[in-house]
């Protein structure tokens, strides 16, 4: 008589067979980690010498030693600059394949009956197959990390930080793959088909990311919402602010980055930060809990559900809600140009469509599908309520402005800056339209006076809401596209961010008062009068370096047609910059953007070299950016004028050649939505129609199809202009022609062509100051 096999023997046999079955399915995970983690690191470390050899001559010419990798890093387990996302995607998706191979037997009646008749308890059967897969995942994670560790020990040497970091990375990979494998095992334990097992496993792993992505789409519709937008900082940084990225710690796909991202490599000039052990522990405990749940579900599983779709109501609801919510939020986002009620209706219809398609695929039967439709009104009611909350401000979110007593400091993106301290790499002209870049956050507004101004402006912008962009009608009545951002740092350490992409022009002009703030004045003084810091790396320090590199000062006549160098010593040049900073801080922003009289001339600061001399010979432009820095001189700039009288000839400001003719066109302004974004995600830049005119001069030989001012029209734009030759009319017009003006009013561009081939200058003539003859002649 045959002796009956013992349960331990049966379990061992089942374990061995599971190992043999799972080995081919574990290879994709092992190969992906080997390629993306180990091979990439080997290439990065072993290929350093060949890469640095291409630039070695630059170091030798500068008298500096060629840096070795050992002098730059203490270890490199993984080059984080290559990005975590591909590695994390493979680490979380490949174990699903392993789970599919080991647990697909549950979805087939013949195989499930065979496995149930092996003599093992259901719990033992589940655990032997799970442990077999878990062992392979452990080995597949251990070998690549061990290879990287050995390479680092041979190349950099041993250190405590390296060993701890390697252990943390190994733990993160093991926990991440184990979580994915456990979820797949648990899902297959409660569904009836293979397709459901695979789809619901992936959906469960990515459901936090899907829900957060949908929430990002919804919040993009809330007035003032910062989610889904980019915040530029003056240290050349960029923050893509979104719920999806801000809450990476709750998403399995980002487990490796959130727990070990800071320890994958250690530069010599950085302090080592310990891995996030608490995050790893929580994910590990969750994994253990899911394994226990999977074993419990497997024990209670009914063999009768094999081969039937839609037998797990919980996963069905999870699937339809996740997919529906993602489409709901996506439609909300893409319907931004539409009215609020239209966005809500379209989003509800999108959710309804997903619901119907989802349950049609599950039921494949008209009668069963109609039964599922009973719950559709509940889903749509919840979606409608959520949509109404979003378009009405999301329970006060859109109208919230922190109290001044709670604010420690504020950072603001200023829509315009006469001295462009933060971003605004420049504006560019297209015919007679002008487009500007999104600027950086200007940090450090902390005085009570500044905070009162900022919160008052913010409150007014929050109250006007998202108005329709208007391209017709009087300019002062339009709502235009721009970028205004606020970041409040509260006294309790929290931050409040808001982002606005449009504003009424009537309110935009009030934002010019930010140039009258204590902080902006301090920044102007810092840029123009202080030395750069050798170790600092930010835009402000860059501007200081540019200003201090100036070795030539030029004086321009009032129409920019003539230019003369002012010979100054280094001490005198610094004194002139101090005079200008004092005058700019004393001058109201209103006078800079809406001057009461035309400029007396301009003063330019350049670093003289062959290129800048050539540029100055064929074009001059009013500019608030260095290289060159050209600032208009007005009558109220008493310190600057006094300096000019002492060290140059103030009479030169009045010298200009006679004007042969004026060409006048209407200053058209058009917010062209087609020039909103340039670049590739996430490295995109926002362009928007600018309202700032800065005039300039161009030589006769300047190409007519180029704008010799970046924020004004090209010469070709004046091809069909109104031409003025009468000296009296010319004099009257030029008495109201401005080299700089804020375009919040209708008006005209004036092209002055000088006698004797002395070139051209472009000015702005406000509608309110234009002679009647011009108003009648120019359409």
User: Quick one: pLDDT band at residue 713, thresholds 50, 70, 90?
Assistant: confident
Q: Average pLDDT for residues 161-185, to the nearest whole number? A: 95
Look at residue 674 and tell me if it is in a domain: no
**More confident site: 594 or 237:** 594
Look at residue 142 and tell me if it is in a domain: yes
pLDDT over 80 (residue 474):
no
Q: Average pLDDT for residues 146-165, to the nearest whole number? A: 94
Residues 6+ apart with CB under 8 A from 407: 451, 455, 488, 489, 490, 491
Q: Alpha helix (H) ranges present in 156-268?
A: 160-188, 194-219, 243-246, 255-260
Q: Which of 38-42, 114-118, 308-312 has the highest mean pLDDT?
A: 38-42
Lowest mean pLDDT among 110-119, 174-183, 716-725: 110-119
Tens-place pLDDT, residues 381-429: 999 999 999 988 888 899 999 999 999 999 998 888 888 776 544 444 4
Question: Would you state the pLDDT for residue 106?
Answer: 75
Based on its alpha-carbon atoms, the radius of gyration of the chain, rounded to whole angstroms, reads: 34
Look at residue 414 and tell me if it is in a domain: no
Lowest mean pLDDT among 43-52, 283-292, 514-523, 615-624: 615-624
Question: Would you state the pLDDT for residue 118?
Answer: 58
pLDDT over 60 (residue 535):
yes
User: Quick one: pLDDT band at residue 436, thresholds 50, 70, 90?
Assistant: low
| Count of CA atoms in the C-beta half-sphere (13 A) of 613 | 6
Tens-place pLDDT, residues 487-500: 999 999 999 999 99
Would you call 259 exposed, middle or buried from its count of C-beta atoms within 10 A (0-12, 13-18, 19+)?
A: buried
pLDDT over 80 (residue 604):
yes
pLDDT over 90 (residue 198):
yes
**More confident site: 523 or 656:** 523
pLDDT over 60 (residue 367):
yes
pLDDT over 60 (residue 689):
no
pLDDT over 70 (residue 598):
yes
Question: Would you state the pLDDT for residue 540?
Answer: 82
Helices 109-116 and 122-155, interaxial angle, to 10°?
Answer: 90
Lowest mean pLDDT among 95-99, 462-466, 617-621: 617-621
Question: Would you state the pLDDT for residue 675?
Answer: 44
Q: Report DSSP state, residue 724.
A: E
What residue ranges in 511-656 does DSSP mark as E strands?
552-556, 563-565, 601-606, 619-621, 629-633
Q: Average pLDDT for residues 695-719, to the nearest whole number? A: 69
Q: Average pLDDT for residues 455-484, to the nearest whole number? A: 85
Produce one character per residue of 5-14: b if its CB has 16 or more CB atoms within 10 Å, e if not. Answer: eeeeebbeeb
pLDDT over 50 (residue 431):
no
Q: What is the helix, strand, coil percentage profile of the chain, to 5?
A: 55, 15, 30
Tens-place pLDDT, residues 228-247: 888 888 877 778 888 998 89
- Other Cβ atoms closer than 10 A to 427: 22
Look at residue 752 and tell me if it is in a domain: no
Question: Would you state the pLDDT for residue 329?
Answer: 92
Q: Report DSSP state, residue 39.
A: I
What residue ranges in 350-419 does DSSP mark as E strands?
407-412
Q: For residue 98, what are the domain limits?
A: 7-38+70-221+239-311
Look at residue 30 and tell me if it is in a domain: yes
Which pTM value belongs to this model? 0.83
Question: Would you state the pLDDT for residue 88?
Answer: 93
User: Quick one: pLDDT band at residue 203, thresholds 50, 70, 90?
Assistant: very high
User: Quick one: pLDDT band at residue 706, thresholds 50, 70, 90?
Assistant: low
pLDDT over 70 (residue 364):
yes
Identify the CA nearest to 85 among candidates 274, 255, 330. 255
Share of the chain above pLDDT 90, in %: 48
User: Quick one: pLDDT band at residue 687, thresholds 50, 70, 90?
Assistant: low
Question: Would you state the pLDDT for residue 693?
Answer: 85
Tens-place pLDDT, residues 83-95: 788 999 999 999 9
Q: Average pLDDT for residues 686-696, to the nearest whole number? A: 72
Asked if 331 contacts 354 with a C-beta cutoff of 8 angstroms, the reply is no
- Other Cβ atoms closer than 10 A to 658: 11
With tokens 């310990």, the residue in question is 274
Question: Would you state the pLDDT for residue 688?
Answer: 57
Look at residue 695 and tell me if it is in a domain: no
pLDDT over 90 (residue 777):
no
Residues 6+ apart with CB under 8 A from 37: 78, 87, 144, 145, 148
Look at residue 12 and tell me if it is in a domain: yes
User: Quick one: pLDDT band at residue 175, thresholds 50, 70, 90?
Assistant: very high
Give SS3 for 478: coil
Share of the chain above pLDDT 70, in %: 89
User: Quick one: pLDDT band at residue 349, thresholds 50, 70, 90?
Assistant: very high
pLDDT over 50 (residue 676):
no
Q: How many residues does the chain have?
A: 779
Tens-place pLDDT, residues 441-454: 889 999 999 999 99
User: Number of structural domains, the chain?
Assistant: 1
pLDDT over 80 (residue 249):
yes
Q: Enter the tokens of residue 29.
A: 């995970």
Question: Would you state the pLDDT for residue 588?
Answer: 94
Q: How far apart are CA 126 and CA 108, in angstroms?
A: 16
- The pLDDT mean for the chain works out to 85
Look at residue 254 and tell me if it is in a domain: yes
Question: Would you state the pLDDT for residue 539?
Answer: 81
pLDDT over 80 (residue 11):
no
């Amino acid at each position: 008589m045959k002796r009956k096999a013992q349960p331990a023997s049966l379990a061992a046999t089942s374990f061995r067979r599971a190992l043999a079955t799972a080995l081919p399915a574990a290879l994709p995970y092992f190969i992906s980690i080997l390629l993306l983690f180990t091979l990439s690191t080997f290439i990065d470390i072993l290929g350093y010498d060949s890469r640095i050899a291409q630039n070695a001559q630059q170091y030798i010419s500068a008298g500096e030693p060629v840096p070795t990798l050992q002098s730059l890093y203490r270890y490199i387990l993984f080059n984080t600059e290559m990005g975590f996302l591909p590695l994390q995607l493979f680490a979380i998706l490949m174990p699903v394949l392993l789970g599919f191979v080991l647990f697909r037997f549950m979805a087939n009646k013949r195989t499930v009956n065979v496995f149930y008749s092996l003599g093992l308890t259901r719990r033992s059967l589940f655990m032997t197959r799970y442990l077999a897969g878990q062992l392979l995942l452990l080995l597949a994670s251990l070998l690549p990390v061990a290879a990287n560790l050995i390479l680092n020990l041979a190349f950099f040497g041993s250190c405590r930080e390296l060993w701890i970091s390697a252990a943390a990375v190994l733990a993160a990979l093991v926990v991440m793959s184990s979580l994915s494998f456990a979820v797949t095992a648990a899902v297959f334990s409660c569904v009836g088909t293979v397709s459901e097992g695979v789809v619901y496993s992936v959906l469960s792993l990515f459901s936090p990311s899907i829900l957060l992505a949908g929430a990002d789409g919804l919040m993009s519709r809330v007035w003032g919402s910062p989610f889904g937008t980019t915040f530029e900082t003056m240290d050349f940084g960029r923050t893509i602010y979104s719920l999806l990225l801000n809450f990476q710690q709750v998403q399995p796909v980002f487990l490796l980055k959130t727990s070990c991202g800071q320890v994958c490599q250690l530069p010599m000039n950085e302090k080592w930060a310990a891995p996030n052990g608490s995050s790893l522990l929580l994910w590990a405990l969750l994994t253990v809990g899911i394994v226990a749940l999977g074993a419990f579900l497997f024990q209670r599983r009914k063999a009768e559900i094999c081969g039937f779709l839609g037998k797990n109501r919980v996963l069905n609801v999870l699937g339809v809600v996740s997919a529906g919510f993602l489409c709901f939020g996506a439609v909300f986002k893409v319907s931004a140009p539409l009215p609020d009620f239209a966005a809500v209706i379209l989003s509800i219809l999108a959710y309804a469509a997903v619901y119907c398609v989802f349950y049609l695929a599950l039921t494949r039967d008209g009668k069963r599908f109609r039964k599922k439709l009973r719950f559709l009104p509940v889903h749509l009611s919840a979606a409608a309520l959520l949509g109404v909350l979003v378009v009405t401000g999301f329970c006060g979110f859109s109208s919230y402005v922190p109290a001044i007593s709670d604010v420690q400091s504020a950072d603001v993106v200023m829509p315009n800056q006469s001295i462009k301290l933060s971003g605004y790499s420049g504006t560019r002209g297209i015919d007679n339209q002008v487009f500007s870049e999104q600027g950086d956050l200007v940090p450090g507004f902390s005085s009570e006076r500044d905070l009162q101004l900022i919160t008052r402006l913010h409150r007014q912008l929050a109250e006007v809401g998202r108005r329709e962009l208007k391209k017709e009608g009087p300019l002062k009545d339009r709502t235009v596209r721009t970028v205004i951002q606020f970041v409040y740092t509260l006294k309790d350490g929290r931050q409040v961010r808001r982002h606005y992409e449009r504003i009424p022009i009537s309110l935009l002009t009030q934002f010019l008062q930010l140039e009258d703030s204590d902080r902006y004045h301090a920044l102007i003084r810092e840029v123009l009068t202080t030395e750069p810091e050798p170790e600092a790396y930010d835009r402000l320090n860059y501007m200081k370096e540019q200003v201090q590199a100036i070795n030539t000062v030029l004086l321009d006549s009032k129409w920019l047609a003539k230019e003369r160098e002012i010979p100054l010593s280094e001490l005198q040049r610094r004194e002139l910059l101090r005079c200008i900073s004092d005058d700019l801080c004393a001058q109201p922003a209103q006078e800079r953007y809406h001057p009461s009289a035309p400029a007396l001339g301009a003063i330019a600061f350049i670093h003289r070299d062959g290129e800048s001399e050539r540029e100055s010979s064929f074009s001059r432009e009013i500019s608030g950016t260095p290289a060159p820095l050209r600032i208009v001189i007005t009558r109220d700039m008493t310190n600057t004028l006094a300096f000019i009288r002492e060290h140059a000839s103030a009479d030169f400001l009045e010298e200009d050649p006679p004007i042969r003719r004026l060409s006048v066109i209407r200053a058209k302004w058009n917010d062209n939505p087609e020039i909103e974004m340039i670049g590739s995600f996430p490295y995109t830049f926002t362009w928007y129609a600018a309202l700032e005119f800065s005039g300039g001069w161009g030589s006769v030989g300047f190409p007519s199809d180029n704008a010799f001012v970046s924020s004004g029209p090209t010469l070709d734009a004046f091809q069909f202009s109104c031409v003025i030759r009468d000296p009296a009319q010319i004099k009257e017009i030029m008495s109201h022609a401005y080299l700089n003006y804020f375009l919040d009013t209708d008006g005209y561009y004036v092209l002055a062509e000088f006698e004797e081939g002395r070139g051209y200058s472009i000015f702005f003539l406000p509608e309110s100051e234009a002679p009647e003859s011009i108003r009648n002649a120019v359409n």
